[in-house]
Amino acid sequence: MPAPLDRSASWPYDAAGEPGPYAYARDEQPNAVAVEEKLGSLEGGRSLLFPAGMAAVTGAVLTMLPPGGSIAVAEGAYYGHTVLFEHLRPWGINAVEFDQTGPPPAKADLILIEAPSNPMLTLPDFEAAAAHAAPVICDATLASPFRLRPLDLGCDVALHSATKVLAGHDDLLAGVITVSDDGLFDRLHRTRHLTGLVASADTAWLLERGLETAEVRIERMEASARVLAERLAAHPAVVTTRYPGFGFVVAFDVADGAAARRVETATETIVNATSLGSTHTKLESRHRWEGDRCPEGLLRLSVGLENPEMLWGDLEQALVRA
């Protein structure tokens, strides 16, 4: 059961005038601590909750990248990371993209890989990343800790947008970072405390509730995604299908941008919207956001909990327009 919801921003000191376990919610908060314990045991480390996936990335980079340093970012990975680092370039953050299926650039001070990358669905070379001298952050949002544990694969930080499948119901924003090194944990915690990148009690409570069903949701979504990926790959209107063999996200290309727009607007039960990992199946063209770093005809399908035969019927009737 989720911990009882406690929305307090501060708690009274004890009779001797000393702070108890909780004093001020920017430092620690019981619902966040409860969900962090569950996330930490899933991931095999100690977790810190953030108010969004991007807040988690910001907290990690501010803590781990030396001023003027260079961060190597997986090419074809989550678009927001690259946009954030470009925005922060005037603060001395230099981002370089690299092909994560090979080794990271030699002179990187921090490495951000993604497993699998969103939306290109490549997997990193974990051995090459771990062999590099720089610390490695792995964004494993699309895999979830039920399919891949970055800390076991030599990464220093496992990162998730908990907005997606961990919460699972499209009703909150959250991020999580998990590490095994206590010194790094303390530095990250201090950054979070001082910057106020803190999730609300309601967010933590809802995320804890969502986690109770995460594993069964992923099993169902993945089983349907496998079937749909196979059928999409055999469909005459589909040029390329990307599916890493696990998980609930499939990316497929139709002929061009106009065809992608016709398909995404022709679905009936599949929702034409951004984001992924929720109970409802979603489809969207990524070129609208990402421009030329993403093929014009690429459609990202996040498979939900609906009946897979019904989903295939919907895709088939939409693909007639391709």
Ligand X SMILES: *Cc1c(COP(=O)(O)O)cnc(C)c1O
Minimum distance between the CB of residue 161 and ligand X, rounded to whole angstroms?
3
Please, which of residues 102-161 interact with ligand X by CB under 6 A?
A: 114, 118, 139, 141-142, 161
Q: Is 164 in the site for ligand X (CB under 6 A)?
A: yes
**In contact, 141 and 53? CB cutoff 8 Å:** yes
Residue (266 or 271) nearer to ligand X, CB: 271
Assess 49 for contact with ligand X (CB under 6 A). no
- Residue with the CB atom nearest ligand X in the bound state: 53
**Toward ligand X, which CB reaches closer, 108 or 162?**
162
Smallest distance, Å, CB 3 to ligand X? 22
80: contact with ligand X by CB under 6 A: yes
Closest approach of Cβ 145 to ligand X, in Å?
14
How many chain residues are in contact with ligand X, going by CB under 6 A? Answer: 15
The CA distance from 63 to 50, in Å, is 14
Encoded amino acid at 8, one letter: S
Smaller CB separation from ligand X, 38 or 286: 286
> Which CB atom, from 173 or from 221, has the smaller least distance to ligand X?
173
Between 31 and 144, CB nearer to ligand X:
144
C-beta of 171 vs 186, nearer to ligand X: 171
Query: Minimum distance from CB of 147 to ligand X (Å)?
Result: 14
* Contact letters for ligand X, residues 241-280 (x by CB under 6 A): ----------------------------------------
Choose between 118 and 285: whose C-beta lies nearer to ligand X. Answer: 118
The one segment of 52-60, 126-134, 186-194, 204-212 that binds ligand X by CB under 6 A: 52-60
- What CA–CA distances, in Å, run from 26 to 30, 177, 190, 282, 305? 11, 17, 10, 35, 36
Q: Please identify, among the stretches 48-56, 83-91, 227-235, 264-272, the one whose residues bind ligand X according to the rule CB under 6 A.
A: 48-56
* Residues near ligand X (CB under 6 A): 52-54, 78, 80, 114, 118, 139, 141-142, 161, 163-164, 173, 175
